[in-house]
């Protein structure tokens, strides 16, 4: 069992500045003792990243890209990198789904009885997209790593997000349950959920059913006739602006948005990691943090319009699992 460090960041398509931010986070391998810098992660996950990191950057930090061999890979805009000496294997799962369909289906029914009527049913559906499933192997043990990026909260109400969460969760659980996949209950889900931990899509049994207390994460639980797998969400501890373990103030979330008319929270915690029952005790508690990069943070809290912004509108999320 070895500590595997992850760093997830939605770069918001901000071009070359993503490498500037990462340079501010990573200590170069030959200068590991730099203050305020972190070790290069074993697994680096970038969302909304339309182009690859530059070869010179990867060489400097000892990173290698995980190939995503699909024609639609560029459209997904997720890039995965591993530290070259991390002694792990990360490959694309054959269950990776890239197709996206959104359309309206109209069904008409006509009752031919005494009181005739015509009923029109409008039904919309979207196939799974923005879901990257990977096989993560460490010391001959396999894990399902799901990198997820939900549609923007601006265009979804809470019920829509719950429905999408149900679809995504069903897809990745089906992939993990197949006999030829040796995942058992070893599932890691990380990404920009575009939901706070307390939103229905994260908390309800029909959604991810992700709770804050690992003692109550059971493999299956029946709630309102629904048999649901429960996930542990350690990111509840990141809510609010007080880091109790360090007795100091911190930022109150991973994404700052003050334009909401309801639930005007200002700071939102959209970037999260969930783990399944079998590996809840593998999570290194004091490793979990939102990485505060001064230049990025300053712009987040400024009056800069997003179209004029230089940096991403999300903070990176860092955590470690003993795998």
Q: What pLDDT, on a 0 to 100 scale, did the predictor assign at position 100?
A: 44
- What's this model's pTM, rounded to 2 decimal places? 0.85
Which CA distances in Å does 116 have to 108, 109, 110, 112, 121?
A: 13, 10, 7, 5, 17
Contact present, 161 and 153 (Cβ < 8 Å): yes
Q: What pLDDT, on a 0 to 100 scale, did the predictor assign at position 154?
A: 81
Averaged pLDDT score across all residues of the chain? 81
Q: What pLDDT, on a 0 to 100 scale, did the predictor assign at position 255?
A: 84
Distance, in Å, from the CA atom of 78 to the CA atom of 238, rounded to the nearest integer, reads 24
Residue 195, judged by CB atoms within 10 A of its CB (0-12, 13-18, 19+), counts as buried
Q: How many independent structural domains does the chain possess?
A: 1
Q: How many CA atoms does the CB half-sphere of 231 hold within 13 Å?
A: 28
| Maximum pairwise Cα distance, the chain | 85
The range of the structural domain enclosing residue 156 comes to 3-322
Condensed to tens digits (0 to 9), the pLDDT of residues 84-131 reads: 888 889 987 766 644 444 444 444 555 555 555 555 444 444 445 578
Condensed to tens digits (0 to 9), the pLDDT of residues 155-172 reads: 888 899 999 999 889 888
Contact present, 131 and 99 (Cβ < 8 Å): no
Q: Please say if the pLDDT value at position 263 is more than 70.
A: no
> Domain of 273: which CATH number?
3.60.10.10
Beta bridge partners of 29: none
Contact present, 317 and 272 (Cβ < 8 Å): yes
Contact present, 229 and 296 (Cβ < 8 Å): no
Task: Please give the average per-residue pLDDT across 250-262, as a whole number.
Answer: 73
More confident residue, 320 or 261: 320
Q: Are strands 221-223 and 131-138 parallel, antiparallel or unpaired?
A: unpaired
């Amino acid at each position: 069992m070895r500590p595997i460090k992850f760093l997830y960041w939605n770069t918001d398509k901000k071009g070359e500045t993503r490498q500037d931010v990462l340079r501010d986070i990573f200590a170069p391998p030959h200068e590991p003792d730099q203050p305020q810098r972190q070790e290069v992660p074993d697994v680096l996950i970038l969302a909304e990243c339309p182009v690859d990191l530059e070869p010179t950057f990867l060489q400097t930090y000892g990173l290698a890209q995980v190939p995503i061999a699909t024609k639609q890979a560029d459209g997904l805009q997720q890039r995965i990198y591993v530290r070259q000496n991390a002694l792990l294997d990360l490959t694309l799962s054959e269950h990776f789904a890239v197709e996206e369909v959104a359309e309206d289906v109209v069904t008409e029914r006509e009752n031919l009885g005494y009181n005739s009527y015509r009923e029109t049913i409008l039904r919309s559906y979207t196939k799974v997209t923005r879901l990257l499933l990977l096989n993560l192997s460490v010391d001959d043990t396999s894990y399902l790593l799901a990198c997820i990026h939900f549609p923007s909260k601006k265009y979804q109400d809470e019920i829509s997000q719950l429905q999408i969460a149900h679809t995504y969760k069903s897809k990745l659980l089906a992939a993990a349950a197949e006999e030829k996949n040796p995942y058992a209950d070893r599932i890691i889900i990380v990404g920009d959920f575009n939901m706070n931990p307390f939103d229905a899509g994260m908390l309800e049994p029909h959604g991810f059913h992700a709770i804050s207390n690992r003692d109550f994460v059971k493999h299956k639980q029946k709630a309102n006739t629904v048999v649901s797998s429960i996930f542990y969400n350690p990111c509840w501890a990141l809510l609010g602006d007080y880091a109790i373990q360090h007795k100091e103030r911190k930022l109150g979330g991973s994404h700052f948005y003050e334009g909401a008319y309801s639930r005007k929270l200002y700071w939102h915690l959209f970037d999260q990691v969930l783990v399944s029952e079998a590996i809840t005790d593998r999570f290194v508690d004091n490793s979990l943090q939102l990485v505060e990069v001064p230049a990025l943070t300053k712009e987040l809290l400024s009056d800069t319009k997003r179209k004029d912004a230089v940096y991403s509108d999300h903070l990176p999320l860092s955590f470690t699992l003993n795998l």
